Amino acid sequence: MTPQVADALAAGQPMAVVTPYTVQPALMDALQVVLLILVAAGATVVALTRVPVRQTVALSAYGLLLAVLFLAFQAPDVTLSELVVGAVALPILLLLALTRVRRREK
Amino acid sequence: MTPALRRGMFLVGIAGFLAFYLWGLTRLPGFGRYPGPYGFVVNRIAVGQTNATGVVSAVNFEYRGFDTVGEEFILFAAATGVATVLRRLRDEQEGGRSRAAFGESPSGTTDAIRLASLVFVGPVALFGWFLASHAQTSPSGGFQGGVVLATAFVLIYLAGQFLAFRRVSPADLIDSVGAVGAAGFAAIGLTAVVLGFAYLYNFLPLGTVPGAVSSSGTIALISFFVGIEVAAAFILIVGELVEQTLLVRAEGGDK
């Protein structure tokens, strides 16, 4: 334990650094609930889509939804990672792989 | 194995999984309640210790820097694997065949897509560069920045031809950049050892202003190296896959 932490504990300060919302907490709750439902719906759509190319596009949209969800839960770093990997990088690789497989089949 | 037996085994398995899963759920902390002291401690001390206001980057490149080296080399190994397998495959298939297809643009590209891609190349490259170079100040980092930077090159491919993509990112150059990025991270850690500190110890001056771009010592430097390594690895993987696709197209003779 570092001196700063020991001092903070001794002074009885709360350890958590809480960033308060700039909007009504109830509004934030509503936004989070809506996003959770959207993410669940999005995942279902991805799972139920049977055509691989369409599924890849759905997966990209789902990655975007998930990124927005992470943002609403105050995790901007994870948002960026999800955005670049889930919504961009993974769909690109999947599309390229699908193209390759399809060319071979012809 | 009969279908009935298989179904029975599945049902037993799923029932067991469900029981354990539900049991696990009952012991989870309440929604929004974080019981781990580590996060609180890091939140409180990270800015003071490293002068980096991007605390996630401080954790990634400082407190658990050694783990991040491992992750970095996972990606490096993956890119190397892709290059090794696909290049070998290509050399075997290619023979003396014409490479005319490489001048083609991606099939089905309209002028609208080309223009939109072209317009986005600059801003996307700038954004990627910003992300990779501002890990110490704001939520970002070399990983995210690197992928965004690589996306700019994919846009060049979309906007034009594969030849243009290769001209701005020659395979040899990309390989070298990736190697420099991966080696740079490891070298920073070793430099600390040579100077008599622990591996990856933050031996550079931390700067005086927390959150300044020049602050945080090795954190900013490591993020930069990670950025170029990730960008190179991703460009390499996409480039190899595109080349594969075009090769097969050329063989098939269809457009």
Residue numbers of chain B with a pLDDT score lower than 70: 92-108, 248-255
Tokens of A4: 């700063």
Mean pLDDT over residues A47-60, rounded?
A: 94
Question: Is the ipTM of this structure higher than 0.95?
Answer: no
Closest residue to A77, CB basis, from B34, B37, B139 = B139
Tokens of B13: 């398995």
Map tokens 């003071």 to a residue.
B48
CA distance B113 to chain A (A): 15
Contact B139 A81 (CB under 8 A): no
| pLDDT at res. B255 | 42
| pLDDT at res. B11 | 96
Nearest CA in chain A to B140: A77
| pLDDT at res. B109 | 74
Give A-chain residues touching B44 at CB under 8 angstroms.
4-5, 8, 15, 17
pLDDT reading at A30 higher than 60? yes
Helix or strand (DSSP H, E) at B135: none
- Interatomic CA distance for residues B162 and B245, integer angstroms: 11
| pLDDT at res. B35 | 76
Q: Is B196 left (phi over 0), alpha (psi -120 to 50) or beta?
A: left
CA-nearest of B18, B87, B240 to B150 is: B240
| pLDDT at res. B201 | 86
- Interatomic CA distance for residues B226 and B72, integer angstroms: 7
Q: Which residues contact B120 (CB under 8 A, 6 or more apart)?
A: B152, B155
Helix B37-50 × helix A3-10 angle, to 10°:
120
Inter-chain CB pairs, A–B, below 8 Å: 72
Confidence of residue A3 (pLDDT cuts 50, 70, 90): low
Q: What is the DSSP string of B148-178?
A: HHHHHHHHHHHHS-HHHHHHHS-HHHHHHHH
| pLDDT at res. A16 | 57
Nearest CA in chain A to B237: A93
| pLDDT at res. B197 | 87
B53 three-state secondary structure: coil
Give B-chain residues touching A77 at CB under 8 angstroms.
54, 56-57, 139-141
Mean pLDDT over residues A2-29, rounded?
A: 69
Confidence of residue A105 (pLDDT cuts 50, 70, 90): low
Nearest CA in chain A to B132: A80
| pLDDT at res. B98 | 44
- The structural domains of chain A, with segments of one domain joined by +, span 23-105
